[in-house]
Structure 1
């Protein structure tokens, strides 16, 4: 018996960003279309250099039926939209869905990164966390803080290279009623004392933290019960190296859980497929397995 097809009108979709060649969104979306039996949908990479979002929105966006948005355009995508989905207070969006037809379309903006992080935590069976050490200060850190608050975290220690850039993150957490402390970026090992260590750092910053923590393992007071890393390359990521080193000190006791950026990417892409194609549930775990399963 042949696979049942899902009726979806022909759609032209894309992911934009700068850089964009590394994006795995096309592979993840294609995996979802195959699993769901969706035909007639194209999904491409479009390089939109920093500073050229307005030109893209004018010249190219009207020809697209939905767009995934990566850095550095998430704030611009939020600002462009007429309507917003959940978590609009973050001021960032990674998904644009057109409202109506024609060259003068309006758009609805969504943040599916929060759903992606929540899905990654669930995939790693991470729950019951009350305290978090959060590394990073950018757009992903805002989504990560929101997902952790929604998972029950009420105490946060923040670490970032620039103390000033933490201001939006601190404000967000305080508005949500969380207790916030700022740790010492130059001595990150002293802040590895929470239920979960969660990183939204880019690779360069993550390498700095890993180099310091791995040299000062004796100053880590407590092995966290869980880790989350928004990075999914290289493998292992710097935080995965820290995780492995800490596990080696446990003498066979319970290994801390690790939620990966690959799972986050699959779950946020699944939510995008639901929004763009109008399906009830996209197969996040099947998407993960097809794109990342053999590599991890």
Structure 2
């Protein structure tokens, strides 16, 4: 009989996380009955102690807010992808106990876009300037060949986004949030803002817009995503991102590939519908 293997999602709050549903669905499809995946409410202060209690049964961790940056000093190695945005959402434990931090949000965004046929665009827009926005810029560095305009609420945020652009090799231009409707002329718009923040923009979505990637998954659809679809545009949602980044996590933690994308998405959809 195989020895038990453990994985988990850490964050605070974490009760809302769909990660256990997605990872457990993958384990079921892959025949990994000896694997478990559980949520743990852990804040920044509690993270070092959590790491100290881990034993050799642990294979990996998923990290959500506010731990994606706080975990970095506790790791032995950080991949270039994670280092590029100073954010780790995945920790994989080697057989020797070595702790490697990675970021699957960035390739997950790229994979979610590719699944909808978006592989290259000449320009793009980003709504917001929080932590997810830097990952969006990193994803756009692989997708967008021209300028990216970030619509933000303050000059401090604008400076941050320009700084990330310089670091990631993206031509970032900034504009006021009050002018965010201008974003909708771009072939790809990535909304990285919290729930409700883009509702005011829904009435001004033009006919036949390009692709909207709204990183939220609950409540869904957002007002903006609903208006976008109604006017003939393509929408990529937060569940798409969540599933694609989880697929990569499962593959890195278990060493099994490919992870069952369709079954993981179906499990996520059912869980959201039941809420």
Counterparts of 2:142 and 2:28 in 1: how far apart (Å)? 32
| 1:76 equivalent in structure 2 | 70
Over aligned residues, Cα RMSD in angstroms? 2.5
The equivalent position to 1:208 in structure 2, one of 197, 210, 220, is: 197
Cα distance, 1:25–1:187 mapped onto 2, change above 3 Å = same
| 1:195 equivalent in structure 2 | 187
| 1:94 equivalent in structure 2 | 89
The equivalent position to 2:245 in structure 1, one of 259, 268, 274, is: 268
**Worse overlay, 68-77 or 55-64:** 55-64
Counterparts of 2:137 and 2:53 in 1: how far apart (Å)? 35
Cα distance, 1:128–1:51 mapped onto 2, change above 3 Å = same
| 2:216 equivalent in structure 1 | 231
Matches within 5 A, 1:170-181: 170-181=162-173
Matches within 5 A, 1:149-188: 149-188=141-180
Matches within 5 A, 1:50-65: 50-60=44-54, 64-65=58-59
| 1:49 equivalent in structure 2 | 43
Please state how far the C-alpha of 1:180 moved relative to its aligned partner.
2.0
| 2:103 equivalent in structure 1 | 111
Counterparts of 1:97 and 1:108 in 2: how far apart (Å)? 5
| 2:13 equivalent in structure 1 | 19
Counterparts of 1:176 and 1:68 in 2: how far apart (Å)? 24
Cα distance, 1:176–1:47 mapped onto 2, change above 3 Å = closer
Secondary structure of 1:182's partner? strand
Please state how far the C-alpha of 1:244 moved relative to its aligned partner.
3.5
**Could you state the TM-score of these two structures normalised by the residue count of structure 2?**
0.89
Q: What do residues 159-205 of structure 1 show as CA deviations (whole Å, max 9, x unaligned)?
A: 233431343432232344432221211232133221111011121xx
Q: What do residues 121-165 of structure 1 show as CA deviations (whole Å, max 9, x unaligned)?
A: 122222331211101222221111111220134211102334313
Secondary structure of 1:272's partner? helix
Residues 210 and 241, structure 1, Cα contact 8 Å, conserved in 2: no
Cα distance, 1:98–1:177 mapped onto 2, change above 3 Å = closer
Max Rg structure: 1
Please state how far the C-alpha of 1:242 moved relative to its aligned partner.
3.4
Q: Say how many residue pairs are matched.
A: 272
Cα distance, 1:223–1:77 mapped onto 2, change above 3 Å = farther
Counterparts of 1:21 and 1:156 in 2: how far apart (Å)? 34
Counterparts of 1:259 and 1:57 in 2: how far apart (Å)? 35
Residues 77 and 96, structure 1, Cα contact 8 Å, conserved in 2: no
| 1:4 equivalent in structure 2 | none
Cα distance, 1:234–1:68 mapped onto 2, change above 3 Å = same
Counterparts of 1:49 and 1:263 in 2: how far apart (Å)? 26
Cα distance, 1:221–1:234 mapped onto 2, change above 3 Å = closer
Counterparts of 1:265 and 1:222 in 2: how far apart (Å)? 28
Structure 1: runs of 5 or more not aligned: 1-6, 248-254
